[in-house]
Amino acid sequence: MKPVVLVPDRQGALWDLLLYVPTVVALASIAARLWYVDEHVSAYVLAFPASFFLLVGANRILKTRLMLLPSAPVRLDVGAGTLSVVTRDGTSIDLVKNQKVYADLAGRSFGISGLDGRGQRLQYVFHRAQFADDASYAAVQAAIGRLAKPAR
C-alpha cells in the first residue's frame, strides 16, 4: 500500500475547542470561587480535573487534530509486515511488535498501538477527516486490520 499523507482536521479541532474550553473554564472558575470562600479541599478537587482537561484538550487539538506538535503523525506507511508512522519532525517510527487496532464504535476514528524497535510502547489516534477521502480511510483501516490484532 502506498504511503498515506494526513491533513489537519480543522472542523474536529473546532468541535474539540467547543467541548474543552467551556469545561475547563467552568471547573476552574468554580474552583476559584470555592478557594476564596475557604473551601480549599473542594477547590483542589475541582482544580485537578480542570488542569487534566486542559492538558488532554490541548494535546488532542494540537497533536491529533491540527498536527502542530513535533510528535504528531503526518504520514502512515503500511507494508507487508510493518507499520510506520512519520512524525512532523521527520522521524520515522516503525511499530514492529504487538500492534493493536482500537476501533471507534462510531467509525470516525481509530487508534493504533505497538512496540517500536527499542521496546517502547507507542500509540496514535487517527480521525476520518485527516484522510483525503473515505476510500483511503477504509483502505488504511483494512491494511492495518490485516497486520494488527484487534484490541479487546
pTM of the model: 0.85
CA distance 142 to 148: 10
pLDDT tens digits, one per residue of 47-102: 999 999 999 999 999 999 999 999 999 999 988 778 899 999 999 999 888 888 88
In this structure, what is the dihedral angle of CA atoms 76, 104, 132, 68, given to the nearest 10 degrees?
-60
CA distance 53 to 73: 22
- Residue count (the chain): 152
User: What's the one-letter identity of residue 133?
Assistant: D
* Residue in the block written with cell 476514528: 109
Q: Is the pLDDT of residue 133 over 70?
A: yes
